[in-house]
Amino acid sequence: MTMKKSNSEKAQLLVEALPYVNRFRDKIIVIKYGGNAMINEELKEAVMQDILMMKSVGMHPILVHGGGPAINDMLKKLNVKSHFEQGLRVTDLETMEIVEMVLAGKVNKDIVGTLNQLGGKGIGLSGKDGNLIRARKKYLEKDGEIIDIGYVGEVESVNKEMLDSLIYGGYIPVISSIGMGADGMSYNINADYVAGAIAKAMHADKFMLLTDVEGIFRDYHDKDSLISRMTLTEAEELKAAGIISGGMVPKVDCCLDALKGGVANAHIIDGRLKHSILLEVFFDEGIGTMIEQGNKEE
């Protein structure tokens, strides 16, 4: 049975949060929204509440999302087969049309609808809106040969002025990971990299990746080995040593790229934990793994 907090305990929580409210007021925080937090309705609502709380105390959250499970469901319904190369979906023109329909349409508008229903001012965007995300075509290399994977892209540039006008106008941008190439075509871009590129372009104070793991471990099989805090240099050393490996590598790479681009702190946090964003932003202990500039003693 869950014990109710006393009034003094509730007050203490507010007092603990106050320095962080003051510190991050008017700061930009980019959140990559994905994993189980997008699928579970209770977690989804908690994420939206967290973002609204941040906005209500003067922070400027920007939400970036993918939507792999929703894309898979739609491809299955339409009987369109797809396959992957090196973890990336090979995207022909038919698949790209479906990807854009799902990400920029259904998934994006569902998120915006939830935000607005809760009292926010969410505005849904794809990279094609206002030339928000200019993309270049991505190629893979295998055994010395170049592999064409279709309409898959990389971020070339971000329209910072457009996002500035929205966030300082009181809106919460919700951005799907679709970019537009110089050829006018749509390109599917990994949402982690889109979020990192936006964090870098916006000189964000925080870049947060919601995942389905607790953070970075020295030994994934030892749950007591979670690394709560590390520097950029330490992260590079752990990656070189193979301690950061597998699916965590691209997430850490996004964080490192954002940090090198001027973002103050990057966080990999467990989106399966209700209100994980608030716990990371507003309280002393935080959760997950924070990667920061400079030395921890500074």
Tell whether residue 170 is among the known ligand binding residues.
Answer: no
Tell whether residue 67 is among the known ligand binding residues.
Answer: yes
- The pLDDT of residue 10 is 59
End-to-end CA distance of the chain: 42
Give tens-digit pLDDT for 109-150: 999 999 999 999 999 999 999 999 999 999 988 888 898 999
Q: Which of 37-46, 173-182, 193-202, 286-295 has the lowest mean pLDDT?
A: 286-295
- The pLDDT of residue 298 is 42
Q: Is 195 exposed, middle or buried (0-12, 13-18, 19+ CB in 10 A)?
A: buried
Q: What is the mean pLDDT of residues 172-176?
A: 97
Tell which wins on pLDDT, 186 or 38: 186
Report the distance separating Cα 112 and Cα 108, nearest Å: 6
**Cα–Cα nearest to 208, from 243, 245, 254:** 254
- The pLDDT of residue 22 is 66
The domain segmentation of the chain, as residue ranges, is 27-292
Contacts of 245 (CB under 8 A, 6+ apart): 239
Tell which wins on pLDDT, 216 or 13: 216
Report the distance separating Cα 134 and Cα 146, nearest Å: 23
Tell whether residue 36 is among the known ligand binding residues.
Answer: no
C-alpha dist (Å) from residue 288 to 46, 80, 85, 235, 291: 17, 37, 30, 14, 10
Q: What is the mean pLDDT of residues 94-107?
A: 93
Q: Is the pTM of this model over 0.75?
A: yes
Tell whether residue 87 is among the known ligand binding residues.
Answer: no
DSSP secondary structure letter of residue 18: H
What is the third-level CATH fold of 27-292? Carbamate kinase (3.40.1160)
- The pLDDT of residue 4 is 62
- The pLDDT of residue 297 is 45
Report the distance separating Cα 97 and Cα 100, nearest Å: 5
Integer Rg of the chain from CA: 19
